[in-house]
Structure 1
Amino acid sequence: MVSKHFLMMNRCVAKYNGKKIYLAGTGTDYSEFLDNAGDDERMYSYVRFQDVDGTTGARKKMYAFITWIGPSVSPLAKARVSTDKAFVKQIFTNFGKEILADDASELAEAKVLNILLKAEGAAYGTGK
């Protein structure tokens, strides 16, 4: 179960316009982030979650690099993603976990947060 005191604080989304990649948006709302993940879309996202409860005494920040390839994307466009991703990762360089998603359920906020928490390792002082 995900602790409720973690909230997504920032996101940045890059999408395709033809063969060019452009900044499609930024924001703080996870549901707005999910709205960008259309069935025929390819996108690269950089998201930051932060511990806003502070009961641990630390202001923990966790970053994820998410690549979305919608289920209706053509095979040729899917192949281009792997090449282009290397260039995009030169911009979004520091993240705790890289996630490749092609099903909307893989983008659920709780699922992404659990992946990040597991990547962090031990949860000292939490009894878990």
Structure 2
Amino acid sequence: MPGETTVEAEPEMQQSQPIISKKASQSTVIDMENIRAAYDDVRSDNSETQWAVFKFDGPRVICSATGADFEKFREQFDEKDRAFGYIRIQTGDELSKRQKFLLVTFIGSSVSVIQRAKMSTDKSLIKNIVSNFAVELQLENTSDIDLNNFKDELNKAGGANYGTGIRDN
């Protein structure tokens, strides 16, 4: 399909061939064009978009939603879902504000063992497109999709804090 890439292709050919995982019984196909567009939109400083969610539609991974409100991001995940979330979060102290990015791999508690096992291969396909993030989390419960938890993880990964000890939330 146009705008997709294959895993079997040579690295220089990956931009024009479909990404397909041949190792699984049902091949995973990535909607590369739309996922890349959503990824670029989240990364853009000129966009209101703060997050994108990529879900399975049969064997295809598609961009299922984008938005700016964290509560809407949280609503995208359910116990039966296998999904990926990419989110922009402002971190830092009163002296230095930074935009950081987080990749979430979500495997709901009702997902079958076989589908869980496929997620590592499928995640590598997503990471061919969604390649820039400070923190990567694998979550199983919707209660773990928490903005304060995400900020804490990003702050831990950020290293030194040279501020006065006061953080904006």
TM-score (norm 2): 0.65
In the TM superposition, 1:1-128 aligns within 5 A as: 10-51=50-91, 55-56=94-95, 58-127=96-165
Structure with the greater alpha carbon radius of gyration: 2
Q: Cα RMSD over matched residues? A: 1.8
Q: Which of structures 1 and 2 has the larger relative contact order (alpha carbons within 8 angstroms, sep 6+)?
A: 1
Contact 2:105 2:138 in 1 (8 A): yes
For residues 33 and 54 of structure 1, what CA distance do their matches in structure 2 show? 24
Give structure 1 stretches of 5+ with no counterpart: 1-8
In 1: Cα distance, 2:111 partner to 2:51 partner: 23
Percent same amino acid at aligned positions?
Answer: 31
The separation in 1 between residues aligned to 2:67 and 2:104, in whole angstroms, is 15
Per-residue deviation, 1:89: 0.6
Structure number with higher strand proportion: 1
After TM superposition, the runs of 4+ consecutive aligned structure 1 residues lying more than 4 A away are none
Unaligned runs of 5+ in 2: 1-48
Contact 2:94 2:163 in 1 (8 A): no
CA offsets 1:3-53 (integer angstroms, 9 cap, x no match): xxxxxx6101100011110000111111111111111001111100125x9
> Judging changes above 3 Å, is the alpha-carbon distance between structure 1 residues 54 and 101 closer, same or farther for their aligned structure 2 residues?
closer
